[in-house]
């Protein structure tokens, strides 16, 4: 039976996390800010971000409403079959998943657009205070996302006692994350690319120069893409890992839910401890400080879960599988750091190649990006194999439960990971505010250093999230098999033990699944391309038609709102088609080839999706930090030919790392959940 103690404990830890988020919010608001220009620009960024988020959420609410109605009618079985309460529960769970994910994103935006102003103002005094404002702003997002996630899953499980209802909750979170990440990514990279191409490359003006009409849209994009979008992405990954573990575990024994809730709750508690330990040491190195936070949280989690396993008699093999996921997550982060940190050779050699032009910048980034895929995929392979083998002596489906717990372990400290990730766009905004508010060269140097650390850590968190998604979707493939076999047993059909690629139906699904992440990525990147073309024309028009703008005459300001509107309208137009393509293709493959074809489809989708997601995320981060390495005075410095080439590399990498790459792991999660939800339908109705 599910132990009430662990349900109550999980709820209490969730409430504690939300309380910590509120305390951090009040601390950030209490920090001083007096510069009128910084305050005005900060208000413009806040208004733009909230406007986009409101319009995006209205669109997604309509989409979610349609999906909720379809779930109510058809899932888990047609409502006219008699068991309408399960359909109602599934639809309600779906709505809860979308609502809580959206709420976490909204909270993140509200805090981030305050923290950026406070971090900018603090940079006039001290790097440590500026760092704390940025990190604690990100920590509000981390606490809110994981707090709502654990609270939602625990309350839903407590009331329904049905792990399959968590599938609906997870699908709600995943579908919102898919479109929120895509929409936010298209918005932010439209503005970023356009501002860089016209401002830096064509006119040679600084990155956050207030003369550039796209500069506010760029700062708005940091929030809607990297705060709200990434928060929704990791909310989705965390819920999906818990859903897979609960479904597989509870099919073996109901009390396995206690282990999932215990380890997830301890992970959030460890992250809370880690947030309060966050300090910049005497070295004043923000990257070291952020990494130290992660290591402290990891150590606390390892010790507390071992103590809980000993005290409450949990199976040590399950603990071992969980720890494998946790440690491999750290290894993936370290490998990502090597390929994206400007203190390491790959970034420096790519910057050096920029001296010979943008072609070599892009070739170097591609090569190192592909190299970076190997350690992460080896890590995922080792963790899944090790977790399987550790739990194999337990028999039954426990090896698969071990893999799902490895995913839970990898995402156990996700609140800290989100805190580090959201820190990045906050200090990026702070750097722009320092420049636009003329807060001085020292403040600009401080925020440049904080921003560089943010780029490195953002790349690490994206690699971490993608790696966790890899383990999660392997577990979700097991969840799909579990749902199929339950239905097959009832219908008296053959039980599935695996998918043989020599079976032509499985191979058919495999070959359809492989290109889906590539097509999905292409649709998002083309969305950025089309939108950026429109914005580049608008920026050029303003510089041409507004007298005195290019010269920076006093009182002459660009029309920032026009660029924000272009980014918003284009992003909302482009965000739906790519996601729908992936979902519709999954449904078609299922009804054509049945469950065997879906097994192949999911396998192909997972493998190619992980490779592309890791490559694009890491290559993009490498190009970004290569540009910043040049701007720091290396390889010719700002304004040199190497700088212009590095900017071109960065503009190629922008939609890679912030639009397509991190959206793929959400895409593979969504199609895995759609497959599990429709498993009975695919088993009952298919051409082959």
HEC profile of 264-278 = HHHHHHHHHHHHHCC
Cβ-based burial of 396 (10 A; exposed 0-12, middle 13-18, buried ≥19): exposed
* Region of poorest pLDDT, from 23-32, 459-468, 619-628: 459-468
Cβ-based burial of 495 (10 A; exposed 0-12, middle 13-18, buried ≥19): exposed
- Using the 8-state DSSP alphabet, how is residue 203 labeled? I
Residue 1: what pLDDT?
63
Q: Is the pLDDT of residue 625 over 90?
A: no
What would the mean pLDDT of 205-231 be, rounded to a whole number? Answer: 84
Q: How far apart are CA 292 and CA 288, in angstroms?
A: 6
Q: How far apart are CA 81 and CA 6, in angstroms?
A: 35
Q: How far apart are CA 303 and CA 434, in angstroms?
A: 42
Give the C-alpha distances (Å, rounded to integers) separating 117 from 21, 41, 216, 427.
Answer: 18, 9, 14, 9
What would the mean pLDDT of 492-510 be, rounded to a whole number? Answer: 87
User: Residue with structure tokens 């702070």?
Assistant: 430
Judge contact between 107 and 21, C-beta under 8 A.
Answer: yes
Confidence category of residue 274, pLDDT binned at 50, 70, 90: very high
Residue 226: what pLDDT?
78
Confidence category of residue 462, pLDDT binned at 50, 70, 90: low
What is the chain's mean pLDDT, rounded? 89
Enumerate the H helices of 437-515 as residue ranges: 441-491, 504-513
User: What token pair was written down for 463?
Assistant: 């690699």
Number of other residues whose CB lies within 10 A of the CB of residue 438: 12
Residue 411: what pLDDT?
87
Q: How far apart are CA 12 and CA 266, in angstroms?
A: 11
Judge contact between 471 and 241, C-beta under 8 A.
Answer: yes
- Using the 8-state DSSP alphabet, how is residue 397 labeled? T
Q: Is the pLDDT of residue 468 over 80?
A: no
Q: Is 471 helix (H, G, I), strand (E, B) or coil?
A: helix
Q: How far apart are CA 220 and CA 58, in angstroms?
A: 18
Judge contact between 420 and 461, C-beta under 8 A.
Answer: yes
Q: How far apart are CA 298 and CA 415, in angstroms?
A: 11
Judge contact between 613 and 621, C-beta under 8 A.
Answer: no
- Rg, the chain, Cα only: 24
What would the mean pLDDT of 25-31 be, rounded to a whole number? Answer: 94
Give the C-alpha distances (Å, rounded to integers) separating 151 from 4, 16, 154, 261.
Answer: 14, 11, 5, 10
| Residue from 575, 564, 659, 571 nearest 46 by CA | 564
Tell me: the pLDDT tens digits for 432-454? 899 888 888 888 889 988 887 88
Give the C-alpha distances (Å, rounded to integers) separating 500 from 86, 360, 474, 505.
Answer: 33, 43, 16, 9
Q: Give the pTM.
A: 0.90
Between 327 and 588, the higher pLDDT residue: 588
| Residue from 246, 267, 192, 188 nearest 663 by CA | 188
| Residue from 6, 106, 118 nearest 426 by CA | 118
Q: Is the Cα dihedral 50, 55, 59, 61 positive or negative? A: positive
Tell me: the pLDDT tens digits for 367-422? 999 999 998 899 889 889 999 999 999 988 899 899 999 989 988 888 998 898 88
Residue 459: what pLDDT?
64
SS3 sequence of 52-121: HHHHHHHHHHHHHHHHHHHHHHHCCCCHHHCCHHHHHHHHHHHHHHHHHHHHHHHHHHHHHHHHHHHHHH
| Residue from 675, 532, 530 nearest 605 by CA | 675
Residue 532: what pLDDT?
92
Tell me: the pLDDT tens digits for 512-534? 999 999 999 999 999 999 999 99
Number of other residues whose CB lies within 10 A of the CB of residue 394: 15
Range of the domain at 398: 4-684
Share of the chain above pLDDT 70, in %: 98
Per 3-state DSSP, the chain is made up of helix, strand and coil in percentages (nearest 5) of: 85, 0, 15
Q: Per this entry, what is the length of the chain? A: 688
- Using the 8-state DSSP alphabet, how is residue 321 labeled? H
Q: Is 617 helix (H, G, I), strand (E, B) or coil?
A: helix
The gap from C-alpha 367 to its chain's centroid, in whole angstroms, comes to 24
Q: How far apart are CA 464 and CA 476, in angstroms?
A: 18
Q: Is the pLDDT of residue 564 over 80?
A: yes
What would the mean pLDDT of 660-687 be, rounded to a whole number? Answer: 88
Q: Is 315 helix (H, G, I), strand (E, B) or coil?
A: coil
Judge contact between 397 and 248, C-beta under 8 A.
Answer: yes
Q: How far apart are CA 658 and CA 574, in angstroms?
A: 15
Confidence category of residue 463, pLDDT binned at 50, 70, 90: low
Q: How far apart are CA 552 and CA 550, in angstroms?
A: 5
If one counts the domains in the chain, the total is: 1
SS3 sequence of 267-329: HHHHHHHHHHCCCCCCCCCHHHHHHHHHHHHHHHHHHHHHHHHHHHCCCHHHHHHHHHHHHHH
Tell me: the pLDDT tens digits for 11-21? 999 999 999 99
Give the angle subtended at the CA of 640 by the CAs of 637 and 642, to the nearest 5°.
85
What would the mean pLDDT of 496-504 be, rounded to a whole number? Answer: 86
User: What token pair was written down for 254?
Assistant: 């109901």
Contacts of 214 (CB under 8 A, 6+ apart): 191, 194, 195, 198, 199, 535, 539, 563
């Amino acid at each position: 039976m599910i132990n009430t103690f662990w349900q109550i404990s999980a709820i209490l830890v969730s409430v504690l996390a939300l309380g910590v988020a509120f305390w951090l919010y009040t601390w950030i608001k209490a920090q001083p800010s007096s510069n009128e220009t910084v305050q005005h620009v900060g208000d413009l960024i806040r208004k733009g971000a909230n406007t986009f988020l409101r319009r995006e959420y209205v669109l997604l609410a309509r989409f979610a409403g349609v999906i909720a109605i379809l779930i109510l009618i058809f899932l888990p079985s047609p409502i006219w079959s008699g068991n309408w309460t399960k359909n109602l529960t599934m639809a309600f769970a779906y709505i809860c998943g979308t609502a809580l994910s959206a709420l976490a994103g909204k909270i993140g935006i509200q805090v981030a657009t305050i923290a950026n102003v406070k971090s900018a103002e603090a940079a006039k005094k001290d790097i440590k205070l500026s760092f704390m404002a940025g990190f604690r702003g990100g920590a509000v997002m981390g606490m809110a996302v994981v707090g709502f996630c654990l609270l939602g899953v625990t309350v839903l499980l407590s009331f329904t006692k049905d792990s399959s209802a968590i599938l609906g909750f997870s699908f709600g979170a995943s579908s919102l994350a898919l479109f929120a990440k895509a929409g936010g990514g298209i918005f932010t990279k439209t503005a970023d690319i356009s501002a860089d191409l016209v401002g830096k490359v064509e006119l040679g003006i600084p990155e956050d120069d207030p003369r550039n009409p796209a500069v506010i849209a760029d700062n708005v994009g940091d929030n809607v893409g990297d705060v709200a979008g990434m928060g929704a992405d990791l909310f989705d990954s965390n819920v999906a890992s818990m859903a897979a573990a609960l479904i597989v575990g509870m099919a073996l024994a109901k009390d396995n839910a206690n282990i999932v809730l215990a380890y997830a709750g301890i992970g959030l508690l460890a992250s809370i401890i880690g947030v309060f330990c966050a300090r910049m040491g005497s070295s004043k190195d923000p990257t070291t400080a952020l990494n130290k936070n992660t290591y402290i949280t990891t150590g606390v989690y390892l010790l507390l879960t071992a103590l809980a396993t000993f005290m409450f008699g949990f199976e040590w093999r399950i603990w071992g599988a969980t720890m494998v996921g946790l440690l491999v997550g750290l290894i993936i982060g370290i490998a990502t750091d090597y390929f994206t940190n400007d203190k390491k050779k790959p970034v420096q050699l790519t910057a050096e190649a920029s001296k010979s032009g943008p072609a070599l910048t892009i070739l170097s980034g591609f090569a190192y990006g592909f190299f970076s895929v190997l350690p992460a995929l080896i890590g995922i392979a080792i963790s899944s194999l090790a977790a399987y083998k550790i739990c194999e002596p337990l028999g039954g489906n426990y090896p698969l439960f071990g893999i799902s717990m490895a995913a839970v372990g990898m995402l156990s400290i996700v609140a800290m990971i989100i805190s580090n990730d959201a820190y990045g766009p906050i200090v990026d905004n702070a750097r722009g505010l320092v420049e636009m508010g003329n807060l001085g060269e020292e403040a600009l140097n401080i925020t440049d250093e904080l921003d560089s650390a943010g780029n490195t850590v953002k790349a690490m968190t994206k690699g971490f999230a993608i790696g966790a998604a890899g383990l999660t979707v392997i577990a979700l493939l097991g969840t799909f098999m579990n749902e199929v076999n339950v239905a097959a047993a009832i219908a008296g059909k053959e039980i599935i033990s695996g998918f043989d690629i020599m079976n032509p139906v499985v191979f058919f699904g495999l070959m359809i699944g492989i290109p889906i992440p590539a097509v999905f990525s292409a649709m998002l990147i083309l969305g950025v391309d089309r939108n950026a073309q429109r914005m580049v024309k608008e920026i050029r028009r303003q510089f041409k038609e507004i007298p005195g703008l290019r010269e920076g005459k006093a009182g002459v300001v660009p029309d920032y709102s026009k660029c924000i509107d272009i980014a918003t309208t284009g992003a909302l137009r482009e965000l739906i088609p790519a996601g729908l393509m992936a979902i519709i293709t999954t449904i078609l493959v299922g009804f054509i080839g049945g469950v065997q074809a879906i097994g192949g489809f999911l396998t192909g989708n997972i493998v190619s999706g992980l490779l592309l997601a890791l490559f694009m995320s890491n290559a993009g981060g490498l190009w970004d930090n290569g540009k910043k390495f040049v701007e720091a005075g290396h390889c010719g410095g700002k304004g040199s030919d190497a700088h212009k080439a590095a900017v071109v590399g960065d503009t190629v990498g922008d939609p890679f790392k912030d639009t397509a790459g991190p959206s793929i792991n959400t895409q593979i999660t969504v199609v895995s959940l759609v497959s599990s939800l429709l498993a009975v339908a695919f088993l009952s109705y298919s051409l082959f």
